Structure 1
Amino acid sequence: MNITRPLRHLGTTLSLATAVLLGSCAQSPFQPEAGPTIIDEPPPAVSGAPGPAGPRVGPPLGPGLGLPAGQAPIALRPDHPQTYTVVPGDTLWSIASRFLKNPWQWRQIWRKNQQIRNPHRIYPGDVLRFSYDPAGNPQLEIGQREEVPLLKLVPEVRVESLVEPIPPVPRAAIESFLARGQILGAADWQKLPYILADDDDQAIYADRDRVYARGADFDQSRYQVFRVGEELREPGSGRSLGVSGVYLGEAVLERAEDPATFVLAKTIAPVRAGDRLVEIEEDKEVYSFEPHPVPPDTQGTIIARLNTDVTQITQYSSVVVNLGAQEGMEPGHVLAIFGKDRKVEDPVSGGSVRIPGERAGLLMIYKVHDLVSYGLVMQAERSIRMQDRVLTP
């Protein structure tokens, strides 16, 4: 169900230099940039040829900005490795952080190897190799990928785990919110089917309890159970951005009558009469996105925490920001987190002075609704609080 509204104006315009710096990050995934400015030490000189002096630079610089037109500088870590072997538990962000100061610039140095199946994906055991191309641009590629040999085995029953490509962010940090996060309008929640009662006149229900529900022609075998949660509001204007749902568990259909009969399963919190049933959507490819910065001039606010049991926002905390599909948000968008500005009294000259909020970390969007998005805190450089601003990094 979609919620529509007029587009919100997104903050004040950033400087032209910032816009040019970020322009190159909107390229298609894993396409290396041509001739970018490099912030790094030069590669070793070829034998018999004099090596360049000082930091390497790309093509002629753009007018007045010290950068190639439309290009952002690739900021390499001075201690980056020449090779790295991917291990289980790695993420695209963690690997990129080994080579780049700005992990979202990964696609600018990635070189596709067309001789390898699925060249876009990286798996545990892959050996990544850093080098420079003939034009002097940094690049990263899979230097080695070992295929699993075929073995003749005697017939037996066994269980194998398939090797999956590494995800962009830790799966455990977002998996529950991807599958169980719901934000709908208040009227949309009221239209959903609801739990009427159980079969034993109890006030709360749990796993294996039989319950009855109404409000729909139930045609699926399983549904998710939600309790209508808090309303999310636009900072400043107070406009409603939707109502979040609190995931409680699942309900398995026994009889599709009126009322229908369900059995509760996988409950993580008590279920009550009035809780809502939501159809379970088909699984989607939710880990195919890659880190990339939001467009210039994007500005929003952290308006809620997804895990209400945790009081502090730290690394790998999930939060809600007041930017959604209407502002062009998409999974993989990276934003910088800044604290709120504050006013202090000048003890010498008198009057109040505005102190700007300092950068507090980085946030990556991983699920987008119409009006809001879920973001994962990738870096927490100082305290992060509700109402902190999120901006173009």
Structure 2
Amino acid sequence: MVVHDRRLGRRAAKGVAAALAVLLWGAAASADTVRWQEDAPARYTVQNGDTLWDIAERFLSAPWQWPRVWRRNPQVDNPGLIYPGDVLYLRDCDGAPCLGLERGRRVVKLSPQMRTLPRRQVVPPLPMRVLDAFLRDHRVVNASAPLDELAYVIGGEDRRLISGAGDQVFVRAAASSRLAGRETGQRLGIFRPGETYQSAAGEPLGQELSSIGEGVLVSHSDDIARLHVHQAAREVRRGDVVLPLDPGLPTDDITPRAPRRAMNGRIVGVPGGVRFIGRLQVVAIDLGTEDGLQPGHVLRIAQQGERVADPRTGERVRLPGEVAGSLVVFRPYDRVSYAIVMAATGTLSVGDSVRSPR
């Protein structure tokens, strides 16, 4: 919810934003120029549940340019350290617009009893709870690491083919697998192979894995390990893959920003088999670390153009696509990456192209 300073009317807020925008734009603006929203608020109070992207989107047409408006702001050393209750306001920095900050000070009434105040949580760059929850349930195995090199369930106790929470299963782990040398008592994830992501030419980019549950390593002898299943969203079957759990995402690595070089790719899948894509949905794209992609990189999304018949030749021609959104990469692998859609002006779908915003 937007909270404006009630002392400034809407007309005044728009006037301040427009005046600062004129200072910024000058006679012309390049593609890399910071562009302010026409209806940017004169003041905004940061709310619980806000993300840096949400806040930046209220002021900037390109939210990933957020750090640039802090360059000449002596009040904040780190633009990521913003808290609920802080007030952001438009100001003039030597003829260029920027954002000022008023630190929120909480009023505490004195009482005979000692009161412990909860620690203020820093506003995250993106909806981290959504991303962390997604990564607990999904991951990608790089094309260079085939499934037959991963540890897998070979059966359950009493010759069971299907097991669940509370059961124990046997896992076979090759010496080259990521379970080699693991100590007993460690928590492990149980996954089921899903979609194989492919390039436009049909070349495999990575194998998606979906979480089945979690277990604890009880014992291991040679290449056979015993795993106690303590949590299972679905039944555990023979052939399911066992891997160490991924740590949570470090927020410092996901500062939204444009890639330094040109990127061109496409959306190759949506975990869960969803056909149409909207805001805050996770997608897989056919770009990865081998292409220079890093966590926090922002890409524009262009919808596929309609296919029409050429009236002279009769051939089917695809019309140029239109920019219809943007996404932020949060988990890149070698040749494929997971990204979250942060803006969508239309319905997106698998096959839509992605490219650098410049």
Q: TM tier, shorter chain? A: 0.7 to 0.9
Equivalent residue number for residue 178 of structure 1 = 135
Which has a greater percent of strand?
Answer: 2
Give 3-state SS (helix, strand or coil) of 1:109's partner.
helix
Equivalent residue number for residue 229 of structure 2 = 264
Asked if the contact 2:140/2:206 (under 8 Å) is kept, the reply is no
CA 1:121–1:254 in 2, change beyond 3 Å: closer, same or farther?
same
CA 1:214–1:170 in 2, change beyond 3 Å: closer, same or farther?
same
Which has the larger displacement, 213-222 or 142-151? 142-151
Q: Percent identity?
A: 32
Q: 1:166 aligns with which of 113, 118, 123?
A: 123
Equivalent residue number for residue 224 of structure 1 = 189
Equivalent residue number for residue 38 of structure 2 = 78
Q: Any idea what the Cα deviations from partners look like across 1:324-353, whole Å, max 9, x if unmatched?
A: 111111112111111224442355x67555
Q: Which amino acid aligns with 1:167?
A: P
Give 3-state SS (helix, strand or coil) of 2:163's partner.
coil
CA 1:238–1:346 in 2, change beyond 3 Å: closer, same or farther?
closer
Matched, 1:315 2:279: yes
Asked if the contact 1:42/1:56 (under 8 Å) is kept, the reply is yes
Structure 2 CA distance for aligned equivalents of residues 296 and 132 of structure 1: 31
Q: Which amino acid aligns with 2:102?
A: G
Q: 1:249 aligns with which of 193, 205, 213?
A: 213
Within a 5 Å distance, the mapping from 1:1-393 to structure 2 comes to 41-43=18-20, 55-57=22-24, 66-67=28-29, 72-111=32-71, 120-133=80-93, 135-146=94-105, 162-179=119-136, 180-185=138-143, 187-215=145-173, 216-219=180-183, 221-235=186-200, 237-257=201-221, 259-286=224-251, 288-308=253-273, 310-346=274-310, 351=314, 354-393=318-357
Q: Which amino acid aligns with 2:69?
A: I
Query: How far 1:120 moved relative to its partner?
Result: 3.4
CA 1:195–1:286 in 2, change beyond 3 Å: closer, same or farther?
farther
Q: Taking structure 2 as the reference length, what is the TM-score of the superposition?
A: 0.81
Structure 1 CA distance for aligned equivalents of residues 66 and 156 of structure 2: 53
Structure 1 CA distance for aligned equivalents of residues 257 and 299 of structure 2: 9
Asked if the contact 1:218/1:260 (under 8 Å) is kept, the reply is no
Asked if the contact 1:338/1:388 (under 8 Å) is kept, the reply is yes
Structure 2 CA distance for aligned equivalents of residues 300 and 279 of structure 1: 30
Query: How far 1:257 moved relative to its partner?
Result: 3.6
Structure 1 CA distance for aligned equivalents of residues 194 and 57 of structure 2: 37
Structure 2 CA distance for aligned equivalents of residues 369 and 257 of structure 1: 32
Q: Any idea what the Cα deviations from partners look like across 1:244-263, whole Å, max 9, x if unmatched?
A: 21221211122334533221
Query: How far 1:243 moved relative to its partner?
Result: 1.4
Q: Taking structure 1 as the reference length, what is the TM-score of the superposition?
A: 0.74
CA 1:248–1:288 in 2, change beyond 3 Å: closer, same or farther?
same
Structure 1 CA distance for aligned equivalents of residues 99 and 111 of structure 2: 36
Unmatched tracts of structure 2, length 5 or more = 1-16, 174-179
Give 3-state SS (helix, strand or coil) of 1:107's partner.
helix
The runs of at least 4 consecutive aligned structure 1 residues that moved more than 4 Å come to: 111-119, 147-156, 281-284, 349-354
Query: How far 1:366 moved relative to its partner?
Result: 1.0
Structure 1 CA distance for aligned equivalents of residues 288 and 255 of structure 2: 18
Structure 1 CA distance for aligned equivalents of residues 40 and 92 of structure 2: 13
Asked if the contact 2:80/2:125 (under 8 Å) is kept, the reply is no
Instruction: Count how many residue pairs are aligned between Structure 1 and Structure 2.
Output: 332
Structure 2 CA distance for aligned equivalents of residues 266 and 169 of structure 1: 28
Structure 2 CA distance for aligned equivalents of residues 200 and 307 of structure 1: 33
Q: Which amino acid aligns with 1:173?
A: V
Q: Which amino acid aligns with 2:19?
A: P
Give 3-state SS (helix, strand or coil) of 1:250's partner.
strand
Query: How far 1:317 moved relative to its partner?
Result: 1.1
Q: Which amino acid aligns with 1:165?
A: V
Structure 2 CA distance for aligned equivalents of residues 110 and 252 of structure 1: 47
Structure 1 CA distance for aligned equivalents of residues 118 and 272 of structure 2: 30
Query: How far 1:161 moved relative to its partner?
Result: 6.1
Q: Which amino acid aligns with 1:299?
A: N
CA 1:153–1:223 in 2, change beyond 3 Å: closer, same or farther?
farther
Give 3-state SS (helix, strand or coil) of 1:226's partner.
strand
Unmatched tracts of structure 1, length 5 or more = 1-39, 44-53
